[in-house]
Amino acid sequence: MEMTGKTVPFVDMADGITRIGPVNSFDPTHTFLCGQCFRWNRTESGDWLGVAGSRAMRLQWDGRRLTISGATPEEVRTFWIPYLDLEADYPKWKENLSASDAVMAEAVAFGAGLRLLRQDPWETLATFLISQNNGIPRIRTIVDALCRCFGEPIPFEGSTVYAFPSPNVLASLDACEMDVCRAGYRNAYLLKTSRQVAEGEVDLSRLSALPYREARDSLLTLHGVGVKVADCALLFSGIHRSAFPVDRWVLRVMNALYPGSGSTTESLQGFARERWGVMAGLAQEYLFHYARVKKIGI
DNA sequence: CTCCAGGCTGAGC
DNA sequence: GCTCAGCATGGA
């Protein structure tokens, strides 16, 4: 029996260590390696080191509880628990999705510990701008270089990690400077979009106040942002979970599962939104994770 | 060598 | 409106 409801058991261990749990429907492998984020790394000891926004933390997972270090209990409560979406009722969502059909049930079971993160909207948008026609390992390399070169330093465990650079900082670069991250032709998209956001042409902080379709249309005015990137930005920042950033893997799986539901992206999105409603984005993420790991290996 | 990777833009219909 | 080459880079 899985825990439901919004209460997350929480213990302050002092010395900058916090323990959370028991938590069900969570697994850092599913959550951090499903392709929604690019700044979590597993250490040799099995811990996870992550940077999000202007914060960093170390996470340990024993299969039942999370132990967080490098963050104050207050930060854990107000930032990391919402970031990891630990208060949401995944058992209920998984049950609903699984009931919708057998293959979805298999995909849900396969990625049972997957949670949709609530990442910073700018960081999410920029990293998925880089993701286009690109592979996950190289996306990580590029994002890493961007942060090290242009991000604010964050003292962490006696060393330094770097925040994702702000739109203002990136907007001040020229194409030559930005090329150190080796993003190729995406440099131009990143530069122009940084400038558009820095100029206030699109206000990312206002997206959550807009209905899904208007939020997406707003993002589509940015250079290099298409439907896929806009949907990923909305979904993985937690702004709109009905966003359905269908890609070739899910297209392949969906077309196999539901022949005739539509071979185009738009009709598949409509199909998914009708079938899974506000959970369409989560449904796609289970499918994506399932298809990718089953067919390519992690 | 070719093909692919969490696509998008701009040109030509 | 629609289709589609071209796009930088690096790994398989």
Look at residue A62 and tell me whether its pLDDT is greater than 70. yes
| Domain-wise residue ranges, chain A | 10-88, 121-236, 248-294
> Would you state the pLDDT for residue A254?
81
Nearest to A83 by CA among A117, A124, A120, A41: A117
Residue type, position A270, single letter? G
Candidates 1.10.340.30, 2.40.30.10, 2.60.40.2310, 2.40.50.140; correct CATH number of A121-236?
A: 1.10.340.30
Cβ neighbours, 10 Å, residue A140: 17
> Would you state the pLDDT for residue A3?
47
Catalytic residue among A6, A228, A294, A295: A228
* For residues A138-167, average pLDDT: 98
> Would you state the pLDDT for residue A6?
63
Look at residue A2 and tell me whether its pLDDT is greater than 50. no
Question: Which distant-in-sequence residues (6+ apart) come within 8 Å of A26 by Cβ?
Answer: A61, A66, A84, A86, A90, A113, A115
**For residue A185, which nucleotide's C1' is closest to its Cα?**
C8
Nearest to A11 by CA among A24, A21, A23, A26: A21
**Which bin fits A20, alpha (ψ -120 to 50), beta or left (φ > 0)?**
beta
Look at residue A4 and tell me whether its pLDDT is greater than 80. no
Candidates 2.60.120.10, 3.40.50.2300, 2.30.110.20, 1.10.1670.10; correct CATH number of A248-294?
A: 1.10.1670.10
Query: Which stretch of A15-24, A87-96, A153-162, A252-261 has the lowest confidence by average pLDDT?
Result: A252-261
> Would you state the pLDDT for residue A94?
97
> Can A228 be counted among the known catalytic residues?
yes
Query: What are A215-262's pLDDT values in tens digits?
Result: 999 999 999 999 999 999 999 999 999 999 998 888 888 877 777 666
Q: How large a percentage of chain A has pLDDT more than 70?
A: 96
The helix/strand/coil state of A30 is helix
Mean pLDDT of chain A: 93
**For residue A289, which nucleotide's C1' is closest to its Cα?**
B6
Q: Which CATH class is domain A10-88?
A: alpha beta
Radius of gyration of chain A from its Cα atoms, rounded to whole angstroms = 19
CA dist A144 and A123 (Å) reads 12
> Would you state the pLDDT for residue A173?
98
The C1' atom of B10 and the CA atom of A226 lie apart, in whole Å, by 14
Q: Could you tell me the pLDDT band of residue A14, with boundaries at 50, 70 and 90?
A: confident
> Would you state the pLDDT for residue A1?
39
> Would you state the pLDDT for residue A253?
82
The C1' atom of C3 and the CA atom of A170 lie apart, in whole Å, by 34
Look at residue A287 and tell me whether its pLDDT is greater than 90. yes
Question: Is residue A143 within 8 Å of residue A128, measured between CB atoms?
Answer: no
E-assigned strand segments in A242-284: none
